[in-house]
A and B are shown apart, each in its own frame.
Chain A
Amino acid sequence: MGLFTELKDSISRVTDRLFSEEEPKRIGIYGPPNAGKTTLANRIARDWTGDAVGAESHIPHETRRARRKEGVEIERNGKSVEIDIVDTPGVTTKVDYEEFTDEMEEDDAIRRSREATEGVAEAMHWLREDVDGVIYVLDSAEDPITQVNTMLIGIIESRDLPVLIFANKIDLDDASVKRIEDAFPQHKTIPLSAKEGENMDEVYENIAEYFG
């Protein structure tokens, strides 16, 4: 990309954000499969609108299409922001239907894997075209330094999108928030348990302040 094109794109991104100040911001919830993205999306949606976003499950790829909850207004400490929450499928570079055959019939497993691949492709496309900020959800009990996480954070940074990292599942015995802070020290990490509703005040404070 040439210098002039880069300058034009950079100015265009800044002006787009200035002129869309009144529009709800589209905040994508991204992360690997089973990090608790839908549980968090449901927690936020229920707390502020009374409705859930989608079904939760322990089976990977329960969320196979991006789902949007519009007009979620979050207020904390005098700051407020109106966001559209976009809950996305867990990003991965591989999907094998045989991983689901213990839990369901083969036809259902194949259908699940097909829908999951379409959902991940769609989520990647949306990340390039259609989100204003990102909540990146990680499981505190898992090693955060994986290629998918590194690639996704790199893609988000390259698009100049504001990102908050949420260290989810702090209720688990082997959770380590420090491991996540150390992996991505360039971003703010907020610990929480979306399932148990732990530390949600800090979650909302940061969403209102960071995306508002």
Chain B
Amino acid sequence: MPKATNTDDPEGPDGVQIDLISGERMENMATMEKIRMILDGVHDGNIVILEEGLTPDEESRLIEVTMSEISPDEFNGIEIETYPKSKANDSSLLGRIMGSEESTAKLTVIGPANQIETLHKDETLISALVSRD
């Protein structure tokens, strides 16, 4: 993931990096590539925003891999919120027939649990308070 800033560098700018990842960038990635990209960003202290979100299976694997990487005093997990797009657009005919709807048409915000102090969502807004520590 190219970096606009380096928050780990003591000489670098003082701030929190936000990676806004387009659906186009994600569309040809395998599940583990997506998860690695997200968790590498979060490990670096970044806030990762996905334009197209993850499928339920990918969300399940994200939780599983996150758990395997939690380590005392180093990484204590992620905060995640998803803002769904209009339900009118996220149900394909195939999905309804097969009963296997896996729409990813949703905006998802993921960040390090120790830096996101509050992550609140209502129907139209995700609001994050991010600590620099």
In chain B, what residue has the closest Cβ to A120?
B67
Known: A3-B94, A96-B76. A117 touches B60 (CB 8 A): no
Q: A95-B70, A150-B82 are in contact. Are A6 and B98 (CB under 8 A)?
A: yes
B68–A121 CB distance below 8 A:
yes
Which B residues are within 8 Å of any A CB, using their own CB? 55-57, 59-61, 63-68, 70, 72, 76-82, 94, 98-102, 113-114, 121
Q: For B68, give the chain A residue with the smallest CB separation.
A: A121
Pick the contact of A158: B56, B66, B70 (CB < 8 A): B56
A27 within 8 A of B: no
A154 to B66, CA, bound (A): 18
The reply to whether B57 and A95 contact each other, CB–CB distance below 8 Å, is no
Shortest CB-to-CB span from A48 to chain B, Å, is: 30
User: A interface, how many residues as a size bin?
Assistant: 20 to 34
Q: For chains A and B in complex, what number of residue pairs have CB atoms within 8 angstroms?
A: 89
CB-nearest residue of chain A to B75: A94
Given A94-B78, A155-B57 in contact, is the A110-B72 Cβ separation under 8 Å? Answer: yes
- List 17 A-B pairs, Cβ < 8 Å: A6-B94, A6-B98, A6-B100, A9-B100, A94-B66, A94-B79, A94-B113, A113-B70, A124-B67, A128-B60, A147-B121, A150-B82, A151-B59, A155-B56, A158-B100, A160-B99, A160-B100
Inter-chain CA distance A91–B66, complex, in Å, is 12
Complex contact B63–A120 (CB within 8 A): yes
